[in-house]
Structure 1
Amino acid sequence: MTVTEADAPAEALLRVRDLRVSFPGKGRRAPRTEVLKGVRLDIRPGETLGLVGESGSGKTTLGRAVLGLVPVDSGTITFAGERIDQAGRARRRELSRDLQVVFQDPYTSLNPSLTVGDTLAEPLLGHGVSAREARARVGDLLDRVHLPADAAARLPREFSGGQRQRVAIARALALRPRLVICDEPVSALDLTTRRTVLDLLLEIQEETGVAYLFVTHDLSVVRFMSHRVAVIHHGEIVETGDAAAVTTEPRHDYTRALLLAAPVADVAEQRRRRAARASAGR
């Protein structure tokens, strides 16, 4: 079931309505492939909405549509009361103050030829902050993500994967945004580092009130991070609700399948889930 107007929060920071996105097919005469099929969702100020689905479900495309990185066929995207789905390049540049992203791979999301200090200063200088203030803000950002001040003079290759992702988070926070789209931000990290980065994101949210659209395929991560969860399947939102309810007592068959597929440490429970998946597949 999709979210209804009655389910929508009255004071949404981000509101997506009936969003449709398609991509060209392979070959000149191939029909277009519809990736998002009338998606509707809302995010309140200071809230984390977990967007969960398997690979190819459309979750990353939705995040990219909000960022203006893919064209929208129809529907609306409203941010802070302003419709932005048709915003031009200049307006998108202005919107980057309030709307930022943390990508999946910390190894490719940073310019290898720029020092960390230059990476963090770049968006500040681009929005008219003085060089002196930018240097001071860089120090504050490094402190916020628990990296030493001398990290500013080092290149990304001198850091571990988790440290690079902290740099990417610091860059996303540089302009003090109201919403950050986190696109599988911990999937490329080992388990220990993953928990550190997730704790950092929660800490930053508590300190700043930033909202997150947290895109992931992992129900355990979305349960840990989110206030509410939206489940996407074949380009449609099939279930939405409180994170604890959706990730423990899901109503939709697809969400139940995702829950059964999630790995658990308990061997007996994992065996039970495999049996349940096999039974559901008959």
Structure 2
Amino acid sequence: MTLLEIDGLRVAFPGRGFRAAPNEVLHGVSLSVAPGETLGLVGESGSGKTTIGRAVLGLVKPSGGAIRFEGREIGGLQGRARRGLSDDIQVVFQDPYSSLNPSLTIGDTLSEPLIIQGATRRDARARVRTLLDQVGLPSDAVERLPREFSGGQRQRVAIARALGPRPKLIVCDEPVSALDLTTQALVMDLLVDIQRQTGVAYLFVSHDLTVIRHISHRVAVLYRGDLVETGAAVDVTSKPEHPYTRTLLLAAPVADPAEQRRRRDERRATASAGVDR
């Protein structure tokens, strides 16, 4: 069974300058996500991984191909039809500092979208208490402002907000890249625990193959708008077949200076041999 199906997705942005040709950033990418699965999208800046997530969220318009959610085409939906998907598809953005309204308490931040969707204020508050417990935050957080929390705690609030309507899919756009390593591990473990409890699926976007390996069931590697490798996370992150994937793996830092130097030299050799094959 497929929850999300991306078939031959193309996205092009207007070119710079008068009469400039459009700049195509995705060249016919095909992917799928099953219920309860985490698909990791990995690649360097400009690879197109974030654009895929934004296309699924309706934030960019495809120029070709199809995006289907539970068999329904959603790539061209706008207005009320698009908003109707918000119960099923949610997002956690990269920056926990800018994704929360600094003037709203955490209780208001979490309850407001539930009330808009028809919940009573009482039911919304009860749901907020459940969400805070689910992400490991104290119940008194409802009366506090975002500035009173650390980066990791704010990202937990953002995760709680995404879980509010009980979605089937959450697009995670670099959700741990702004956090320190210890906090990254805690947030990723939280996401794994939530998936086990709720069965939610993740489309997880990251430039870090180590992060992708930790959280994903399957991995898709993007390079300059093309899908160059896909497979089980354990295979792609330990025995990559494509040269570009190998360069991503070799870019991950290690504690041993000698090993780090060896990996750097091997990465340079791999890159100089070319990754466009």
Q: Which residue matches 2:221?
A: 231
Q: CA deviation at 1:262?
A: 1.4
Q: Residues 225-277 of structure 1: CA distance to partner in whole angstroms, max 9, x if unpaired?
A: 00000000111111000000000101111111111111122323212211212
Q: TM-score, normalization: structure 2? A: 0.96
Q: Which residue matches 2:39?
A: 49
Q: Residues 173-232 of structure 1: CA distance to partner in whole angstroms, max 9, x if unpaired?
A: 000000000000000001111111011000100100000001001011100000000000
User: What is the distance in 2 between the residues matched to 1:38 and 1:18?
Assistant: 4
Q: Which residue matches 2:174?
A: 184
Q: CA deviation at 1:30?
A: 1.9
SS, match of residue 237 in structure 2: helix
Alignment of 1:143-222 (within 5 A): 143-222=133-212
User: What is the distance in 2 between the residues matched to 1:265 and 1:220?
Assistant: 14
User: What is the distance in 2 between the residues matched to 1:96 and 1:269?
Assistant: 46
User: What is the distance in 2 between the residues matched to 1:233 and 1:191?
Assistant: 26
Residue 60 of structure 1 pairs with residue 50 of structure 2: yes
User: What is the distance in 1 between the residues matched to 2:216 and 2:204?
Assistant: 8
Aligned length: 272
Q: Provide the aligned C-alpha RMSD in A.
A: 0.9
AA partner of residue 68 (structure 1): G
SS, match of residue 248 in structure 1: coil
User: What is the distance in 2 between the residues matched to 1:142 and 1:207?
Assistant: 15
User: What is the distance in 1 between the residues matched to 2:19 and 2:105?
Assistant: 46
Structure 1 portions without partners, runs of 5+: 1-10
User: What is the distance in 2 between the residues matched to 1:29 and 1:112?
Assistant: 42
Give the alignment partner of residue 266 of structure 2, picking from 271, 276, 279.
276
SS, match of residue 186 in structure 2: helix
SS, match of residue 18 in structure 1: strand
Alignment of 1:248-263 (within 5 A): 248-263=238-253
Bigger mean CA offset, 40-49 vs 28-37: 28-37
AA partner of residue 182 (structure 2): T
Give runs of ≥4 in structure 1 deviating > 6 Å.
none
Alignment of 1:92-103 (within 5 A): 92-103=82-93
Q: CA deviation at 1:278?
A: 2.5
Q: Which residue matches 2:21?
A: 31
What is the percent sequence identity of the aligned residues? Answer: 66
Structure 2 portions without partners, runs of 5+: none
AA partner of residue 147 (structure 2): R
Alignment of 1:109-128 (within 5 A): 109-128=99-118
User: What is the distance in 1 between the residues matched to 2:115 and 2:17?
Assistant: 43
Give the alignment partner of residue 84 of structure 1, picking from 55, 74, 79.
74
AA partner of residue 59 (structure 2): L
Q: Which residue matches 1:3?
A: none
User: What is the distance in 2 between the residues matched to 1:54 and 1:277?
Assistant: 14
User: What is the distance in 2 between the residues matched to 1:195 and 1:167?
Assistant: 16
